[in-house]
């Protein structure tokens, strides 16, 4: 029984670790999306200030070009993180399924042990009852 409890604790730890990883990736995606949004606003502001909206124009603001490049890098990173998130969520699902299997096995074993214990107790009570009946006769 001790080994099953150890396995359950291990499986719970693995599920928690995978949940943390999923949450971490989700947080990174949200942060990168927020930064990309900020950069988008800064690019728009810089373009409006300069009055030039065509990145190919010779006088296009340098800061806007740099911000566009950074924003595109963030978008690529978000796409890569989404792939990692899908993988992490799949791993979390598998770990959760493994935990549930072990917990169900443990529950089944506990129910069997309780049934065996109840059967032993009932047999003892039956034996006591028979002894009393034979003593009366």
96 with 15: CB under 8 angstroms?
A: yes
- What is the C-alpha end-to-end distance of the chain, expressed in Å? 45
Question: What is the pTM for the complete model shown?
Answer: 0.75
Token look-up 């911000």 returns: 67
CA distance 61 to 82: 32
Average pLDDT over the chain, rounded to an integer = 93
> Quick one: average pLDDT of 43-52?
96
Q: Where are the domains of the chain?
A: 2-97
User: Tell me, what's the pLDDT at 5?
Assistant: 87
Give pLDDT tens digits for 65-120: 999 999 999 999 999 999 999 999 999 999 999 999 999 998 998 899 898 899 89
11 sits in which H/E element: helix 2-50
Q: Evaluate if residue 137 carries a pLDDT over 90.
A: no
Half-sphere exposure of 84 (CA within 13 A, CB side): 16
Domain spanning 2-97 has what CATH number?
Answer: 1.10.287
39 with 74: CB under 8 angstroms?
A: yes
């Amino acid at each position: 029984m001790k080994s099953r409890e150890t396995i359950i604790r291990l499986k719970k730890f693995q599920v928690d670790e995978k949940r943390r990883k999923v949450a971490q990736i989700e947080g990174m995606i949200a942060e990168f999306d927020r930064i990309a949004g900020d950069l988008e606003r800064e690019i728009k502001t810089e373009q409006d200030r300069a009055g030039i909206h065509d990145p190919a124009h010779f006088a296009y603001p340098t800061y806007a070009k740099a911000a566009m490049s950074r924003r595109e890098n963030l978008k690529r990173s978000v796409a890569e993180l989404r792939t990692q998130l899908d993988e992490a969520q799949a791993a979390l699902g598998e770990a959760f399924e493994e935990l549930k299997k072990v917990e169900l096995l443990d529950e089944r074993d506990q129910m069997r042990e309780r049934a065996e214990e109840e059967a032993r107790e009932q047999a003892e009570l039956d034996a006591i009852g028979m002894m009393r009946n034979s003593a009366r006769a």
